[in-house]
Chains A and B, each alone.
Chain A
Amino acid sequence: MDSTVEQISDALKSVFGKLEEKFGARLLGSSVFRGELTFLVAPEDLVEVATYCKAPEGLGFDRLEFLTGNHYPERIEQPFEVAVQLTSMATNDRLRLKVPLKEGQKMPTLSSLWPAANWCERETWEMYGIEFEGHPNLIRLLTDADFEGHPLRKDFPVRGLVGGRIRTDLKGKI
């Protein structure tokens, strides 16, 4: 890490310093890839870290660019990961927070901090089955309301789920 931290801009170096100073050992780790700074955060600490990142008197990352999930079946312990990408409109800096999760582990919602997180979290829940505690309306966003399963998990069948040409029950819908 310490050798790669040289690659990032001075502004991000100060962000890095402030976060390390404030949360220190509570952060699970950090990495730099092509000048992009990423922090690994435990789900318990996420709201606190994100609040600090957003606050103008904190780091000023005022915009949530996206929130999405990932599934790495090869990571036996914590196969899921939620990535939160933040932007600062004032300085045009970007910061990424990643939250590693166990199967079935819940994480807190960010929709109270950024209303934009609402739909992102709905999609992440729908596609990966990651539950967001405190979310106001955790229902399916893209697939049909009676769809079962979480299609972006790696163990979800790539080919048709139910078989047949009409893979849905249109009863009551048409």
Chain B
Amino acid sequence: MTSPQDPRHPHINGEMVREASEREVRMLAEGNVDRPEEHVPGVAIPAQLEKLLGFGRSFSWWPLLFGLACCAIEMMATAGPRYDMSRFGMEAMRASPRQADGMIVAGWCSIKMAPRVVRLYEQIPDPKWVLAMGSCAISGNVWDTYNVVQGIDSLIPVDVYVPGCPPRPEALWQGLEMLRDKVKQSDHAYDRVRVIPARAAIGE
């Protein structure tokens, strides 16, 4: 539960507001903000409404229909009738990032795929949650080679890590439960860091 004392969610007059990002702080310090209200993209949402939204979202968290490698097979098994993600409102895997609430990065990401992963992530509307599934998405696994990204969190902010090679559907399910807790609290990794590592690495 979000409490008014939660440092991640500062409140002004009982209304929860977003913390200024590093960029915004820097812009304010440099004084190059002509009309600050236009440069701060967040909206102040009353805490109660945020709770309600989080509750609703946690029962209809739609992942992006997106599998990278062998782990995706287990993700499909989780979506299938035996493990049945649809019991938790996650059955609608959206084929368009614009309709998704987040992504399950299932499998190793090749370097050629990396720009696409970042692009898909950026196209998902805020708030968005990312689950890194399997050792490959977490750290590159044994593929310390020329063509594999060594951990997807070097590209995009990750909320929940599910280790395993591949994780069984039960493990993914537990990861999704942890994710749902975060969704309920409207707590997502990007909100905390406000940087996309892939963009930071090239100085954007």
Give me the interface of A with B, judged by CB distance under 8 Å: 142-144, 147, 149, 151, 156-161, 165-171, 173-174
Contacts and interface: CB of A to CB of B under 8 A. Distances in A.
A167 B111 contact: yes
Contacts of A169: 202
Given A165-B151, A170-B114, A174-B199, A160 B145 contact: yes
A160 B201 contact: no
Contacts, number: 59
A170 B145 contact: no
- Among A142, A147, A156, A165, max chain B CB count under 10 A is at A165
B119 interface: yes
Contact of B146 (A161, A171, A173, A174): A161
B146 A166 contact: no
A157 B199 CA distance: 28
Contact of B150 (A147, A167, A173): A167
A139 to B, nearest CB: 13
Nearest to A151: B146
Contacts of A147: 111, 146
B115 A166 contact: no
Interface of B: 111-112, 114-115, 118-119, 122, 144-147, 149-151, 154-155, 197-199, 201-202
15 contacts: A143-B146, A144-B112, A147-B111, A147-B146, A151-B145, A159-B144, A160-B145, A160-B146, A160-B150, A161-B146, A165-B151, A167-B111, A167-B146, A170-B118, A174-B122
A169 B197 CA distance: 13
Contact of A160 (B112, B118, B144, B154): B144
